[in-house]
Every structure is written in structure tokens, then in C-alpha cells.
Amino acid sequence: HLGAVLSRGQVGTLLLAILGAMLLAAVRGRRFRAGLWLAAAITLKVIPAFLLLYPLWRRDWRWLAGAGAGLALGLYLLPALALGPSAAWTNNARWIEVMFLPQLSGDADQSRFNELHSLLKPDNQSPLAVLHHLRWLGTPIDQRPPEAALSTRIAHLGLVGLATGITLLASGLWRGRGPGGRDHLPWTMGALLRGMLLA
């Protein structure tokens, strides 16, 4: 099954396995290793960077150090060995140019907009897309704008922030934000994964 999924360019199953390994390492108290696994997930698909909120909130410097080391390895050192330092740097810069900057500015490279960011795609079921389509209810889909208004984006970020804040507070982290205490980890990570999907 994993081979069939990967052959289609989908990494969901592999990503889930990596996040499972991260949680297992964290529950066993191997926080540097948990950071390495989280870095592997972020390197594979940037979205799990959201989960860095957990070690940041806990001020878990070992977990963060592992994540930093893993990101340096996965995003630059290994590509530099395979492609050369210059090509590795160029590829990372290109990724920022076509994937990250378009989220901040309409003047950036929009060549991937229709494929990745348009809210008119029928398979886009993100909360942002749902809020956007509710706003334009009654208007034919092909006449709706392909991107959300600023107020819709703010509402979406507010929902994400609320869900994330409730998760962190409900986990009991406000009592002791040091790295100790791991009983809450599985359900906290599960709730943060839900927040990650919302975001």
C-alpha cells in the first residue's frame, strides 16, 4: 500500500508513520529524537511545522534542538550532498519563492496558485474554503473569487488560534511548562494534529 501511495506522489501514510515515531520517542522521554522525527515530517511536507508549537510552549529546548538539527540535515545538508551546495540553496530559495511568498503578496510568483491555493477547486475542503463559500452562498461557483477576502482569512485564523489555545490550556501545560510530564502527550498531540489540519 505504501509503495502505491508513494508512486502517486502522495506522502500521507509515510507522514503519519513519521509522526507516530515522533510521538513514541516523546512518550519515551527521547525529546531530541522526537525533534528529529518532527523535522523529518516538516522536511517531507511543511504543514507539520505547526507542531513546533508544542515544544515551544513547553520550552523544551532538547526537542527544539533536535528539530533544528533535523531541519538543517533534511533541508540543506542532504540535498547539498546529492545536488551540490549551490543547487541545494537555489532549490530552497525557489521553494520559498513559489510556495511561501505568494501567501504574503499578490506580487509574488503565482504560477502554482490554481493548483495549490485556489478556493474554487472542488476538492478543497479546508475551513478557509468553507467560510469563503458560505460568504458567497447563492453565487455560482465559477463567479466566486478564487481567493478569500481578508476578513474571511482573519476569521479562519481566529478559529485556528482558538482551537490551538484551548488545546494547549486543556492539556494542563499552564501549570508547569517544563519538559517533564508526558502523560498528556498522546491526546495533546492528537488535538494539535486536528488544529494543524484546521490551519
Q: Model confidence over 106-141: pLDDT tens digits?
A: 666 666 666 666 777 756 667 888 888 888 888 887
Q: Model confidence over 22-41: pLDDT tens digits?
A: 999 998 989 999 999 999 99
Q: Model confidence over 75-108: pLDDT tens digits?
A: 899 989 998 989 888 988 888 887 777 666 666 6
Give the pLDDT score at 109: 64
Residue 129: all three cell numbers together:
474554503
**SS3 per-residue string spanning 139-194:** CCHHHCCCCCCHHHHHHHHHHHHHHHHHHHHHCCCCCCCCCCCCCCHHHHHHHHHH
Give the pLDDT score at 182: 63
**Predicted structure pTM score:** 0.77
pLDDT higher than threshold 80 for residue 73: yes
CA distance 109 to 116: 13
Q: Model confidence over 179-191: pLDDT tens digits?
A: 555 667 777 888 8
Burial 116-152 (b: 16+ CB within 10 A, else e): ebebbeeeeeeebbebbbeebeeeeeeeeeeebeeeb
Which amino acid is residue 66, in one-letter code?
G
Query: Could you tell me the pLDDT band of residue 5, with boundaries at 50, 70 and 90?
Result: low
Instruction: Decide: 47 and 41 in contact? Cβ < 8 Å.
Output: no
